Amino acid sequence: MAKNVKKKELGLGIRALLNNLDEQPPPEKQEEMVRELSHTVALIPVAQIEVNPFQPRKDFDEDALEELASSLKVHGLIQPITVRRLSGKEYQLISGERRLRAARIAGLKDIPAYVRIANDQEMLEMALVENIQREDLNPIEISITYQRLIDECSLTHENLGDRVGKKRSTVTNFLGLLKLPPQIQQALKDKKISMGHAKALRGINDLAIQLSIFNEILSNGLSVREAEKLARDYQQPKTRAADPAKRISDAHMQVQDNLRHFFGTKVQLKANEKGKGQIVIPFTSDEDLNRLLDLLEK
Task: With residue 43 as reference, give the H or E element that holds it.
Answer: strand 42-45
> Among candidates 35, 53, 40, 43, which has minimal Cα distance to 120?
35
Strand partners, 42: 113
Q: How far apart are CA 139 and CA 78, in angstroms?
A: 12
Q: Which residues pair with 50 in a beta bridge?
A: 92
Bridge partners of 278, per DSSP, are: 270
Q: Which of 262, 88, 291, 294 is nearest to 279 (CA)?
A: 262
Looking from the CA of 181 toward its CB, the CA atoms found within 13 Å total 23
Distance, in Å, from the CA atom of 118 to the CA atom of 122, rounded to the nearest integer, reads 11
152 is catalytic: no
- Set 9, 97, 141, 226: catalytic member: 97
Could you write out the DSSP letters of every residue in 213-268?
Answer: HHHHHHHHT--HHHHHHHHHHHHSPPP----GGGPPPHHHHHHHHHHHHHHTS--E
172 Cα distance to chain centroid: 15
Return the active site residues: 97
